[in-house]
A = this chain, B = another copy of it.
Amino acid sequence: MRVGRAEVGQRSETVHRANLSAIVRRLHERGPQSRSDLVAATGLTRSAIRGLVGELAAEGLVTEAEAVHLGTPGRPSPLVRLNATGAVVLTLEILVDSIAAAIVGLGGETLAHVRLDRPRMELSVDDVVADLAALAADLRGRGDWRIVGIGVAVAGIVRQADGMVSMAPNLGWIDVPLGARLARALSMAVPISSMNDADAGALGEHRRGAAVGVDNVVFISGEVGVGGGLILDGRLMTGAAGYAGEIGHLTVNPDGAPCRCGSVGCWETEIGERVLLARARHAVDEGREGIEAVLREAQAGSETALAAIDHVGRWLGIGIAGLVNVLNPRLIILGGPNGRLLPFIGARLDAELERFALRASRELVRVVPASLGIEAPMVGAAELAFDPLLNDPAAFFRGGSASVHLATA
């Protein structure tokens, strides 16, 4: 069930803007559509679609291709597609072992991309912001982009409203005004939207990955820390201030090990990659390469490696069972190293779900690896940055909205 909130009344200008939004969003999420597709999808008349598409074409957001005859009776319907360069966003990502930047075009195509691996150690905010500004300058020099927004994904707990990072334990950050720092360093008159990397991963997989068309999804990221992104009833849920999804700090073992967040017995103390590496007798800071080594050892039959993987599988199962009971998702997506473990832990996961999850919810859920891999958060950050334009394209081509949003500068 969807229990709606009060809808406001609608006048013709509002309706016109909503119709432009419906068309651009559909093209963005589904790819090129014939005018007939748009008529069917929106319930608008042919002439209304023609007019609206004409407006969008005049603004350079869409082009109409030659009409293609499909072998069906009647006049062929022209194919409408977005211009990827009609509007683009800049995306930035701050993970524990790399930073990245990209230019993503309307419709979701990545037009330029750069990733910088860096040592897995605490880095000053100054250095990270300077590095990101340099990457952004590089990308901006590669084209005459019409940038309409900036999306930032960061491996930490970040307030949506202004990009304030409350805590990023694995970066060593506390109370860092990341949004404001980036706004100053980048100095671009467009809105900056920030989100947690797991939320971004969830949004990416929902719009363009394993969860397209699935309305209830939990995305579980995991490198050093374990984060989560929640898609519920078709929408990313981030809570009262953007902090939701901190599933790595779900208490699963109140008498357990201390966590880097200051608590004890958090889920990530039992399933994080450090746990896997330590139990497999590797150095805990070997990162992705260490994980791959453990997987090779397991494949070769190493009992130590297999036991380490089984331990993580058991606790993954216990935590996932809790999430299944609380959220009744259709899909659990394992990102990061946990996705790589999936072939080894399927039976263990099933057993723990059988034991700890309620039957009705358990029977509906599948556990799958992320389909966008390491780029899921970048894809999600781009989607976040496009949202204001998708919600009201008219505000953008009338030049009204961008500067208003620049509250973080």
Contacts and interface: CB of A to CB of B under 8 A. Distances in A.
A322 interface: yes
A387 B1 contact: yes
Given A9-B22, A325-B249, A167 B239 contact: no
A70 interface: no
A18 interface: yes
Contacts of A44: 9, 11
Contacts of A247: 325-326
Interface in A114-143: none
A19 B10 contact: yes
Contact of A241 (B235, B325, B357, B360): B360
Nearest to A355: B263
A240 B23 CA distance: 27
B166 A328 contact: no
Contact of A326 (B26, B244, B318, B328): B244
A87 B41 CA distance: 34
Contacts of A319: 251
A325 B167 contact: no
Interface residues of A, number: 89
A121 to B, nearest CB: 23
Interface string A296-318: 00000000000000000000001
Interface in A150-198: 157, 159-160, 166-167, 193, 195
A236 interface: yes
Interface in A192-245: 193, 195, 203, 215-216, 228, 230, 232-245
Given A43-B9, A167-B358, A243-B360, A384 B1 contact: yes
A380 B118 CA distance: 52
A43 B3 contact: no
Contacts of A239: 216, 232, 327-329, 361
A245 B254 CA distance: 22
A48 interface: yes
A246 B358 contact: yes
Nearest to A42: B9
A294 interface: no
A61 interface: no
A7 interface: yes
Nearest to A202: B3
Which residue among A25, A48, A237 has the maximum number of chain B CB atoms within 10 Å of its CB? A237
A157 B325 CA distance: 11
Contacts of A10: 10, 15, 18-19, 43
A12 to B, nearest CB: 8
A2 interface: yes
B1 A195 contact: yes
A8 interface: yes
Contacts of A295: none
A321 interface: yes
A29 interface: yes
Interface string A371-403: 000000000000110010011000000000000
20 contacts: A4-B25, A7-B22, A7-B25, A9-B44, A9-B48, A10-B10, A10-B15, A11-B44, A157-B358, A167-B360, A216-B244, A233-B237, A244-B327, A244-B328, A246-B325, A250-B322, A251-B321, A253-B254, A254-B318, A322-B322
Nearest 7 CB-CB pairs, A to B? A239-B328, A9-B42, A166-B360, A244-B328, A9-B44, A243-B328, A240-B330
Given A3-B387, A244-B327, 10 more contacts: A1-B242, A7-B18, A7-B25, A10-B15, A167-B359, A215-B240, A240-B330, A241-B361, A243-B364, A251-B318
